[in-house]
Amino acid sequence: MTDTTQNTRILLASRPHGEPTSDNFRIETAPMPQPADGEVLLRTVYMSLDPYMRGRMNDAKSYAAPVELGSVMEGGTVAEVVESRDPSLQAGDIVLSHLGWQSHGVQQAKHVRKLDADRAPISTAVGVLGMPGFTAYAGLLEIGKPQPGETVVVAAAAGPVGSAVGQIARIKGARAVGIAGGPEKVAWLKELGFDVALDHRSPTFKEDLKAAVPDGIDVYFENVGGHVWDAVLPLLNTYARVPVCGLVAHYNETALPDGPDRSARLMSSILTKSITVRGFIQTEFVKSHYKQFQADAAEWIADGSLRYREDIVEGLENAPDAFFGMLTGKNFGKLLVQVGADPTR
Amino acid sequence: MTDTTQNTRILLASRPHGEPTSDNFRIETAPMPQPADGEVLLRTVYMSLDPYMRGRMNDAKSYAAPVELGSVMEGGTVAEVVESRDPSLQAGDIVLSHLGWQSHGVQQAKHVRKLDADRAPISTAVGVLGMPGFTAYAGLLEIGKPQPGETVVVAAAAGPVGSAVGQIARIKGARAVGIAGGPEKVAWLKELGFDVALDHRSPTFKEDLKAAVPDGIDVYFENVGGHVWDAVLPLLNTYARVPVCGLVAHYNETALPDGPDRSARLMSSILTKSITVRGFIQTEFVKSHYKQFQADAAEWIADGSLRYREDIVEGLENAPDAFFGMLTGKNFGKLLVQVGADPTR
């Protein structure tokens, strides 16, 4: 599966205008990079695909610097050490790394984290035990602050963040209402123990949501926007909390939508219902909460209260198509690209 | 000034569609009410006019129930006890009460608070030492959380809430930028010690604001909305806090403004800059913070670091016009109606 003399990589070739297309990417091979002292040469096993990557393709200022044109697309990876020039790691070690969309790469040993395959499947390091899981944990608990008996609503609930949000809400004694696209995902949410699971594609979605929250909504974990948010807003209770971690329905918009302008009405809802709307990215909470998250999540996975699902696409060359699909909700579970053989399976 | 046999009162005659007019009010005289056991008969000295009253004129659900058609307009008052049927109060006592727009009224003694005219001018009980002052205090400190050296921006800064926000921000070591309408108000803000004071009516307002906040905006205390908010939003820093206590620029809107629809872009700004937008009304914080506010504000007024200004209109019959003027920024300082003689002056 992997050429050991060449590095295959996917570059950002041009910036998308609206929906990204294959033209925005270029696949190429390059000489294998060489590690210097303190560095390791890594071979990518799993590469994570996440909605935030759409933002990095733009030139506009977002939470992080954009990917430069002609540079490798960014992203979290699980990789095997091929060659180590640092005493802390040796060939064969599996590490959480940030190689981006490529088959190999060099990183400083101190910037990667060694994984224990006996503790959890290594792919979970970019999933339920990694950035998406932590996003759910930190956003829900630190901003959403669900109380026992309160109602938590989450969209993209079959995704890696949303599925964790709903399950953690239930662990904390709240009622979890999950919103997803299509009957299969809805069925899976019920399997996970969501109190209610709704299909946002249903023509009666707005009424379905209203019926699902007889006591209103106390926490809405926002990662979608669009018509789901429009349905949620009037149902929010006084003192509702809205952690905002994504707006995938809007990432491909090229211009402001037609009017009327509802922005003042949004502020007015926030005012009259004493609502908290709080944007965040998980990095804000790493220092203060990551350790506790790792301990809690490991315990919840072990006792079966936190489950996850992976959607693994084979082959680096298929990353762009998988990425496009994710932006329209075609993945089902945490989307990963298997770039090379998994030595632990 | 006061007829001692009749109660003069202003009723809500009809609900406004857009800007309120005199037709929405009706002035009438009614028999003097009689206190029962545990009650007091009060004579209004000062009546407070506040922007929130516009919301109470609507039928729509806001933070509080609307005023019923044919009922006396609501509002905070400073009043003198005419007759007491409760041992806790006696004739001549001055109390903070909630009589609304009328010359007299009956309240339960336990629902009024006796004022000490030697401690502060009695009018301040509905101003800097009352609801508006506490709104500034609680919203700024509990939601805005200004840190020393941070930049706090406040609109309607010459009003009773805004002027307190800016001064308390400075007391806490932050930089205060005040926005008001017209050169007189701007001059007064400078007198109060605001680091910068800007006129939002200036054609260069947007640029002026940008120049006034070289390090961006950490806290924006929102009580206006409209073009001020539009100018503020792009200047907010990562982790900025926006306590929302009013949107006076929008209170008279009868329909959503024309497009484009900027609501998703607002959410996107909140996301990418990890902004907190939090609606509130001061009642939320009364139990936890009112005592401390009273102590702090009294100290700050005594040492000159918290100053205030009153705009007193004579005569209950002039309340509607004064109220209309307030909604368009014509008042200068805390707007009060003097309904009867002030026995302490």
* pTM listed for this prediction: 0.93
Residue A335 has a pLDDT of 97
Report yes or no: B276 at the A interface, CB cutoff 8 Å. Answer: yes
Q: Is pLDDT of B141 > 70?
A: yes
Residue B248 has a pLDDT of 85
Flag if A261 and B263 touch (Cβ within 8 Å): yes
SS (H, E, C) chain A: CCCCCEEEEEEECCCCCCCCCHHHEEEEEEECCCCCCCEEEEEEEEEECCCHHHHHCCCCCCCCCCCCCCCECCCCEEEEEEEECCCCCCCCCEEEECCCCECEEEEEHHHCEECCCCCCCHHHHHCCCCHHHHHHHHHHHHHHCCCCCCEEEECCCCCHHHHHHHHHHHHCCCEEEEEECCHHHHHHHHHHCCCEEEECCCCCHHHHHHHHCCCCEEEEEECCCHHHHHHHHHHEEEEEEEEECCCHHHCCCCCCCCCCCCHHHHHHHHHHCCCEEEECCCHHHHHHHHHHHHHHHHHHHHCCCCCCCEEEEECHHHHHHHHHHHHCCCCCCEEEEECCCCCCC
- Chain B: closest CA distance from residue A281 (Å): 7
| Residue, of A256 and B196, whose pLDDT is higher | B196
Average pLDDT (B104-124) is 95
Report yes or no: A280 at the B interface, CB cutoff 8 Å. Answer: yes
B231 and B267 Cβ atoms separated by less than 8 Å: no
Q: Is pLDDT of B29 > 80?
A: yes
Average pLDDT (A230-253) is 93
Q: What is the DSSP letter of B72?
A: B
Closest CB from B225, B270, B281 relative to A244? B270
Minimum mean pLDDT range among A305-319, B1-15, B174-188: B1-15
Flag if A274 and B273 touch (Cβ within 8 Å): no
Nearest residue of chain B to residue A276 (CA atoms) = B278
Which tokens hold the place of A235? 């149902």
pLDDT band of A63, cuts 50, 70, 90: low
Residues of B in contact with A246 (CB under 8 A): 271
What's the CATH code, domain A131-283? 3.40.50.720
- Chain B: closest CA distance from residue A199 (Å): 22
Tens digits of per-residue pLDDT, B156-172? 999 999 999 999 999 99
Average pLDDT (A11-31) is 95
- Chain B: closest CA distance from residue A52 (Å): 11
Residue A253 has a pLDDT of 85
- CATH 3.90.180.10 positions along chain B are 6-127+308-338
Residues of A in contact with B241 (CB under 8 A): none
pLDDT band of A3, cuts 50, 70, 90: low
Nearest residue of chain A to residue B259 (CA atoms) = A259
Residue B341 has a pLDDT of 96
Residue B59 has a pLDDT of 86
Residues of A in contact with B161 (CB under 8 A): none
> What's the half-sphere exposure (Cβ side, CA atoms, 13 Å) at B89?
32
Residue A5 has a pLDDT of 83
**Percentage of chain B exceeding pLDDT 70:** 98
- CATH 3.90.180.10 positions along chain A are 6-126+308-338
Residue range B6-127+308-338 forms a domain whose CATH class is alpha beta
Complex ipTM, two decimals?
0.93
Q: Is pLDDT of A41 > 90?
A: yes
pLDDT band of B61, cuts 50, 70, 90: low
Residues of B in contact with A222 (CB under 8 A): 267
Q: Is pLDDT of A2 > 80?
A: no
Report yes or no: B195 at the A interface, CB cutoff 8 Å. Answer: no
Residue B63 has a pLDDT of 59
pLDDT band of A132, cuts 50, 70, 90: very high
Flag if B274 and A279 touch (Cβ within 8 Å): yes
Residue A73 has a pLDDT of 97
Q: Is pLDDT of A308 > 80?
A: yes
A39-48 and A104-108 beta bridge pairing: antiparallel
Tens digits of per-residue pLDDT, A105-124? 999 999 999 999 998 999 99
Q: Which of A122, A115, A146 is nearest to A45 (CA)?
A: A122
Fold type of domain A6-126+308-338: Quinone Oxidoreductase; Chain A, domain 1 (3.90.180)
Flag if B262 and A256 touch (Cβ within 8 Å): yes
Flag if A63 and B281 touch (Cβ within 8 Å): no
Q: Is pLDDT of B2 > 60?
A: no
Report yes or no: B63 at the A interface, CB cutoff 8 Å. Answer: yes
Residues of B in contact with A255 (CB under 8 A): 260
Closest CB from A261, A264, A266 relative to B259? A261
Residues 33-52 of A with CB under 8 A from B: none
- CATH 3.40.50.720 positions along chain A are 131-283
Residue A345 has a pLDDT of 87
Residues of B in contact with A264 (CB under 8 A): 225-226, 247, 250, 253, 256-257
| Residue, of A247 and B206, whose pLDDT is higher | B206
Q: What is the DSSP letter of B124?
A: G
Average pLDDT (A41-47) is 98
Q: Is pLDDT of B250 > 70?
A: yes
Residue B75 has a pLDDT of 96
Minimum mean pLDDT range among A18-27, A248-257, B157-166, B327-336: A248-257
CB-based contacts of A313, cutoff 8 Å, min separation 6:
A319, A322, A335, A336, A337, A338
Average pLDDT of every residue of chain A: 95
Minimum mean pLDDT range among A91-100, A137-146, A252-261: A252-261
Flag if B257 and A261 touch (Cβ within 8 Å): yes
Flag if B267 and A244 touch (Cβ within 8 Å): yes
Residue B253 has a pLDDT of 85
Q: Is pLDDT of A52 > 60?
A: yes
Report yes or no: B283 at the A interface, CB cutoff 8 Å. Answer: no
**How many CB pairs lie under 8 A apart between chains A and B?**
144
- Chain A: closest CA distance from residue B229 (Å): 10
Residues 220-239 of B with CB under 8 A from A: 222, 225-226, 229, 239
